[in-house]
Amino acid sequence: MDPFVVLEDVAVPLDKSDVDTDQILPARYMRRPRKEGYDQFLFRDLRFREDGSENPDFILNQPPYRQARILVADRNFGGGSSREQAPWGLLDYGIRCVIASDFGDIFNVNALKSGLLPVQLDIAICNRLRQQLHERPGTKLRIDLPAQLVTGPDRATYAFRIDAFRKRCLLEGLDDVGLTLRQEAELSAFEQAYREKFDWLFTERG
């Protein structure tokens, strides 16, 4: 996955609490192959009408926010059922960071493993940021992961917490596979030593 260090980009305000994983990525699209991308299914029932046309009232369909890479939400973002596809949809759309007052536990873990940064800030701060983004559509926020700081449109800064291990993985662009491959030399050495010690296990018998 791509490293996350500092992100300064357009932020979109989502004035909706309790956005669960089925709203983020409806269950009927979960069987799609990962390689095909999930961006078209992100907020599918909110972004599009039943006839497939865009819903102009949905915030991501409005011109200033179409290319947003940061999403500022309200309370309880990503609650509900477990599915990796929810953060995949956000990432494939281009969003690398979601700010909210709290997150669903499983969504939070899946997001970090996928390369999406969930930033938890006080609800009053989330409300303030969204208000500022509405007042100045297309405004950018700055997310500094090494410093663990969010900088708002008014240049005010807000500190956030993140697990040290997950922070390192994001900074270095390491998912679970990448972490395992870092031990490839040690794993190969162990496998070779094991085969030599128990060679009889690997000898073909006639």
The mean pLDDT value for 32-48 works out to 91
Identify the weakest region by mean pLDDT among 46-55, 73-82, 174-183.
174-183
The mean pLDDT value for 141-152 works out to 98
- The residues with which 157 forms a beta bridge, in sequence order, are 151
List C-alpha distances in Å: 178 to 124, 162, 182.
37, 20, 6
Closest to 100 in 3D by CA, of 83, 116, 81: 116
Helix (H/G/I), strand (E/B), else coil: 151: strand
What structural domains and CATH numbers belong to the chain?
A: 6-201 (3.20.19.10)
Q: Which is it for strands 140-144 and 117-120: parallel, antiparallel or unpaired? A: unpaired
pLDDT above 90 (res 126): yes
The mean pLDDT value for 132-157 works out to 97
Determine the Cα–Cα distance for residues 90 and 111; give it in Å rounded to an integer: 9
- The residues with which 77 forms a beta bridge, in sequence order, are 103
Q: According to the model, what pLDDT value does residue 189 have?
A: 67
Closest to 94 in 3D by CA, of 66, 53, 52: 66
pTM: 0.86
Closest to 42 in 3D by CA, of 2, 8, 98, 91: 91
If pLDDT is split at 50, 70 and 90, which confidence band does 179 have? low
Q: Which residue has the tokens 């993985």?
A: 169
Are 68 and 8 in contact by the 8 Å Cβ rule? The answer is no
Determine the Cα–Cα distance for residues 69 and 11; give it in Å rounded to an integer: 6
